[in-house]
């Protein structure tokens, strides 16, 4: 555990030291759970967004984009259920004065039981080798059966109580399980209360005529209210999707995990409109497709898993998370939800306008069903960044810090380095940079010994270093060094563009899906 905490601290300090992420308004001591993306962070974030956008919009002829406003008519949030139901159950510890989400305390307890069961399974697998029958073991080993059934029982009871709004029972469950404050060990809890996560604001100048608004807590509603506009003007035929990236705001109760849980964050969402009755087919399709998209980045298939929801949101008839192995364990990275016709029907009802599709094959109108894929851009950033950051021991015993970012996402694709600051080498290096910058984000660096410059680029995640030396003057060749292998090859300047392009092109990465 200590090691994991260290790793996470490293991630946060590396992000700051190398110009990826700063706390917001830091000179005023920052603002809790709000962050700014710095010169390298903004590039990485933009590349992740673009990787998503291209795979969604450019590669699907039946998915189009949208950029709806953050501010929306307040009735939107009545219709969507957010005014009444976008709550988290909170609980305070009276001794430590720390605030928690009651459901998360219980889920963490359940996860510990799951981990215990998994440990037994792994032990048995090691003992029995090839003869091991996991399914049989899970259903017959008394300890595993006990751990897993207790876990399921706890989660089912919590889901039932939350659905029924029975917060007293949620508190009772915390007491029965003897869950203590992770910070202080105290079990002196307050009652459980509901807390609405939306940020309110006002539109208009004078106090008496001002209109109460909310900052959007999800981007999805901007898509729903535009459903018919897009369908008609784009002549879209079901099934089709609308994709959008943009800011969302949530007044999160607990926000202590860097950019994992922020109060202002960015989502990348796609709502896929389907014929009623076909939603489960598309739900399965998008689960698989989205997992493959994540895997295409090469961070390791073992770092992803599905988590099917026990407690469904008020709008869903099936929901799963793609969880990622963050430095603090497996947590939600993306949600895939079958949202039924809940949203469109609610907007029809509240607006009095029809939001229906005329199906020419069936010759009838209906309200489409929706399958949503929703991934946090900042969480994607954290996933990629934390897995990429590695300390390596080299053959000579020295260590290097390397940010093994998927090269398609790297902020800078190549750094051009003159070996020395004289003999015409800087001039050639600058010429190379001038040429490459039409196609790639490239950097120039002539400060310090070349070995140190390599290390700096490794820490920034730059896939290539191009070094101009005295031989370059003779034969127009340079060395190109690969970040991950540290191997260097001598190549012609005229080949650089192709070499870099082959490694960083979105096409080559998305082809792995």
User: Could you tell me whether strands 240-249 and 63-65 are parallel, antiparallel, or unpaired per DSSP bridges?
Assistant: parallel
Residue pair 244/269 in contact by the 8 Å Cβ criterion: yes
* Alpha-carbon gap, residue 236 to 216, rounded angstroms: 26
Residue pair 126/118 in contact by the 8 Å Cβ criterion: no
Among 250, 347, 453, 456, binds ligand ATP (CB under 6 A): 250
Residue 318-347 contact track with ligand ATP, rule CB under 6 A, x = bound? --------------xxxx------------
Residue 360-399 contact track with ligand ATP, rule CB under 6 A, x = bound? --------------xxx-xx--------------------
* Alpha-carbon gap, residue 141 to 277, rounded angstroms: 40
- Considering the complex, what minimum distance in angstroms separates the CB of residue 92 from ligand ATP? 19
Residue 262 contacts ligand ATP per CB under 6 A: yes
Cα dihedral 303, 305, 310, 311 in deg (nearest 10): 50
379 assigned to a ligand binding site: yes
- Considering the complex, what minimum distance in angstroms separates the CB of residue 44 from ligand ATP? 16
Residue 315 contacts ligand ATP per CB under 6 A: no
In DSSP terms, 211 is beta-bridged to 203
373 assigned to a ligand binding site: yes
Residue pair 203/235 in contact by the 8 Å Cβ criterion: no
- Considering the complex, what minimum distance in angstroms separates the CB of residue 255 from ligand ATP? 7
Which stretches of 191-341 are DSSP H helices?
Answer: 220-225, 227-233, 279-295
* Alpha-carbon gap, residue 429 to 445, rounded angstroms: 9
The strand ranges marked E within 81-230 are: 87-92, 99-101, 193-196, 200-203, 211-214
Residue showing the smallest CB distance to ligand ATP in the complex: 376
268 assigned to a ligand binding site: yes
Which residue, 382 or 389, is less far from ligand ATP as judged by CB?
Answer: 382
- Considering the complex, what minimum distance in angstroms separates the CB of residue 377 from ligand ATP? 8
Residue pair 71/343 in contact by the 8 Å Cβ criterion: no
**Which residue in 266, 285, 417, 283 sits closest to 338, CA to CA?**
283
Residue identified by tokens 């018919």 is: 228
333 assigned to a ligand binding site: yes
- Considering the complex, what minimum distance in angstroms separates the CB of residue 68 from ligand ATP? 16
290 assigned to a ligand binding site: no
513 assigned to a ligand binding site: no
Residue 403 contacts ligand ATP per CB under 6 A: no
Residue identified by tokens 């060990």 is: 185
Residue 252 contacts ligand ATP per CB under 6 A: yes
Which residue, 151 or 263, is less far from ligand ATP as judged by CB?
Answer: 263
Binding site feature residues for substrate: 101, 218, 265-269, 372-376
Binding site for ligand ATP (CB under 6 A): 218, 250, 252, 261-262, 265, 267, 332-335, 374-376, 378-379
Binding site feature residues: 101, 218, 250-252, 260-269, 332-333, 372-379
């Amino acid at each position: 555990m200590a090691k994991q905490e260290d790793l996470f601290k490293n991630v946060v300090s590396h992000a700051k030291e190398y110009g990826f992420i700063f706390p917001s308004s830091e000179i005023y001591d920052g603002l809790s759970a709000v962050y700014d993306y710095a010169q390298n962070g903004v590039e990485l974030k933009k590349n992740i967004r673009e990787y998503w956008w291209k795979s969604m919009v450019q590669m699907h002829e039946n998915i189009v984009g949208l950029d709806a406003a953050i501010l929306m008519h307040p009735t939107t949030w009545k219709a969507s259920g957010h005014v009444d139901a976008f709550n988290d159950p909170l609980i305070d510890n009276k001794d430590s004065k720390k605030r928690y989400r009651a459901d998360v305390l219980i889920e963490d307890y359940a996860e510990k039981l799951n981990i215990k069961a998994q440990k037994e399974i792994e032990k048995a697998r090691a003992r029995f080798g090839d003869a091991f029958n996991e399914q049989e073991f899970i259903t017959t080993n008394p300890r595993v059966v006990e751990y897993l059934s207790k876990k399921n029982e706890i989660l089912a009871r919590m889901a039932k109580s939350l659905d029924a709004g029975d917060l007293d029972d949620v508190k009772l469950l915390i007491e029965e399980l003897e869950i203590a404050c992770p910070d202080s060990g105290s079990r002196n809890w307050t009652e459980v209360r509901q807390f609405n996560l939306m940020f309110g604001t006002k539109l208009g100048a004078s106090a008496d005529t001002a209109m109460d608004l909310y900052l959007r807590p999800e981007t999805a509603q901007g898509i729903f209210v535009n459903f018919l506009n897009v369908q008609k003007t784009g002549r879209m035929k079901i099934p089709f999707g609308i994709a959008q990236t943009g800011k969302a705001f949530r007044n999160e109760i607990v926000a202590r995990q860097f950019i994992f849980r922020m109060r202002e964050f960015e989502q990348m969402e796609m709502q896929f409109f389907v014929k009623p009755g076909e939603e489960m087919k598309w739900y399965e399709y998008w689960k698989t497709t989205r997992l493959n998209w994540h895997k295409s980045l090469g961070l390791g298939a073992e770092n992803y898993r599905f988590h099917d929801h026990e407690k469904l949101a008020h709008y869903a008839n099936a929901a799963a998370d793609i969880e990622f192995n963050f430095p603090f364990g497996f947590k939600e990275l993306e949600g895939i939800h079958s949202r039924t016709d809940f949203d469109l029907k609610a907007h029809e009802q509240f607006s009095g306008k029809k939001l229906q599709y005329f199906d020419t094959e069936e010759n009838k109108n209906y309200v489409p069903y929706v399958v949503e894929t929703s991934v946090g851009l900042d969480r994607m950033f954290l996933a990629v960044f934390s897995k990429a950051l590695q300390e390596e021991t080299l053959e000579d015993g020295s260590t290097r810090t390397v940010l093994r970012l998927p090269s398609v996402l790297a902020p800078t694709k190549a750094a051009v380095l003159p070996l020395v600051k004289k003999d015409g080498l800087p001039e050639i290096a600058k010429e190379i940079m001038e040429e490459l910058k039409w196609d790639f984000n490239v950097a120039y660096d002539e400060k310090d010994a070349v070995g140190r410059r390599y290390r700096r680029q490794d820490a920034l995640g730059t896939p290539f270093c191009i070094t101009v030396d005295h031989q370059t003057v003779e034969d127009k060749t340079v060395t190109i060094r690969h970040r991950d292998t540290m191997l260097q090859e001598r190549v012609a300047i005229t080949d650089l563009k192709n070499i870099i392009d082959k490694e960083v092109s979105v096409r080559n990465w998305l082809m792995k899906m």
